[in-house]
Structure 1
């Protein structure tokens, strides 16, 4: 999908493709992603589990396993000079990108929390490593709903929601210009979920950029400026959030919204394809009531008002 890259973009991704080599198959995890995010923008990447959302985030930070092959470009601007995240070596990513220019709220807090150190130790250590005073730890923690007493607990003593909030605090502490938030509201009750989302929105309002990876469309509607819908490794629709929630044009995106309890509450028929056996054409065609013979070929990306759309027969067009 070809996206016009704005000169003001903080991150510009083009042709990003990720493949995982297995002994008897290849996993087509991410395919031909072209997208950009600007300072002050909150981009929500949404879709069903297994569509490639988290792989996209991990590819940007060089956190994929050894059997992954990554191609394309992902240029991060700002700082001393632009850096292509996909071409950068491990030393560059570890010393100048991760935690400094890009923060990550991981989907599983267990991957970010050292089990033998308290939350306070982890947060103070993070602040010190980035030249900030350790005394700010409690203020950072309070911003995500943690008390001073919570900080004195070890990770195994935290509930799932508390661990998620601590991981969020660790990502926010260095104040990175770009934050990748991978399901940051997992395990949180509604008030804490809304508080976390509002915190991400506030960061964008202060000039940072956030890529929110979520399957929660209600969360995306609450805070997103733009929405990108992924299906079977590809982005199928990308547009301003207000326009998207008013009326998505891709049949899959439309079906996602119709599955919400406050809308039609209608399940999407069928199942997503295996990423090891994707069809040659539109991957959603077997589940789509608008599919026609030409859906056997991959739909090319087309500009659609202020967004992008990959569909031969979008909602709103004559069938």
Structure 2
């Protein structure tokens, strides 16, 4: 029972012979019960890969390759996953504070989502599950902290009883304790039989939490390395991964030796280290 991406390529035409090479020939697997980390710099294509699974790509995007999710004796296609967004597949977005309707309290928003999904959950139960006080249901989005908003986003994601969560930079702008708490929630979901694709550039939180079984590294629209999390974070094989880890603050703030390329009209044979 696995999320499987095979040869996924995404191109986004911009007009005037300009095309964004958003994702190129990506292969990735997320087995049941695991959190799979997808790391890389901003603009490398991580979020676009996640959007390929959730069906939230820009209008006009061209997709090749296959996306499937095996559940029991059934295999869900990419088209079925898009139709099941919010149920079989859920999204924990970056900057959850801006994801909610700002003029409605969180409780009524969550109750409406539950009614639409037909799962019968109680908003109080979901907020308690993610470690939030139930009085938060009476608050407007702008009345809660960033950490509370991210926890609430996890509660909304759980409302549909998903088999897979795509978490896109869920710890962005959070301090270390709050980031660790969000990652622990995602880990608990995976341990209960779910699957998580964790998209992040917060390598420090990722390493300290130890939530990932495997990690893929993305550079210039391509996955350049995939392996056991401990191996990737301590003894990486690809030169880009080594340079990325060396640039972490705890390693002395060594700048990356090469500028990240733009993905517009990127040559198909582009490799790390090219000018």
TM score, norm. by length of structure 1? 0.79
Residue in 1 that maps onto 2:82: 93
Q: Quick check: which has more Rg, 1 or 2?
A: 1
Question: What number of residue pairs does the alignment pair up?
Answer: 272
Within 5 A, what are the aligned runs for 1:41-80? 41-78=34-71
Residue in 2 that maps onto 1:247: 235
Residue in 1 that maps onto 2:135: 149
Q: Map Cα deviations across residues 101-142 of structure 1 (whole Å, 9 max, x no partner).
A: 1111012325642233211112222333344445x3223223
Question: In 1, distance between residues paired with 2:55 and 2:151?
Answer: 24
Question: Unaligned regions of 5+ residues in structure 2, if any?
Answer: none
Contact 1:164 1:186 in 2 (8 A): no
3-state SS of 1:262 partner: helix
Runs of 4+ in structure 1 off by over 6 angstroms are: none
Q: Map Cα deviations across residues 173-215 of structure 1 (whole Å, 9 max, x no partner).
A: 2231111000111232222211111111112222211000000
| Structure 1 position 245, deviation (Å) | 1.8
Question: In 1, distance between residues paired with 2:145 and 2:97?
Answer: 11
The match for 1:219 among 205, 217, 222 is: 205
| Structure 1 position 80, deviation (Å) | 7.1
The match for 1:164 among 135, 145, 150 is: 150
Higher relative contact order (CA 8 A, sep 6+): 2
Residue in 1 that maps onto 2:7: 15
RMSD between superposed Cα atoms in Å: 2.1
Q: Map Cα deviations across residues 217-249 of structure 1 (whole Å, 9 max, x no partner).
A: 123222110000000000000001011122001
Contact 1:204 1:210 in 2 (8 A): yes
Report the more deviating stretch, 257-266 or 50-59: 257-266
> Would you tell me which structure has more strand in proportion to its own residues?
2
Report the more deviating stretch, 20-29 or 262-271: 262-271
* CA shift in 2, pair 1:79/1:125, >3 Å: farther
TM score, norm. by length of structure 2? 0.91
Contact 1:14 1:74 in 2 (8 A): yes
Question: In 2, distance between residues paired with 1:30 and 1:243?
Answer: 24
Question: In 1, distance between residues paired with 2:244 and 2:60?
Answer: 32
* CA shift in 2, pair 1:197/1:156, >3 Å: same
| Structure 1 position 41, deviation (Å) | 1.3
| Structure 1 position 280, deviation (Å) | 4.9
Question: Unaligned regions of 5+ residues in structure 1, if any?
Answer: 1-8, 288-319
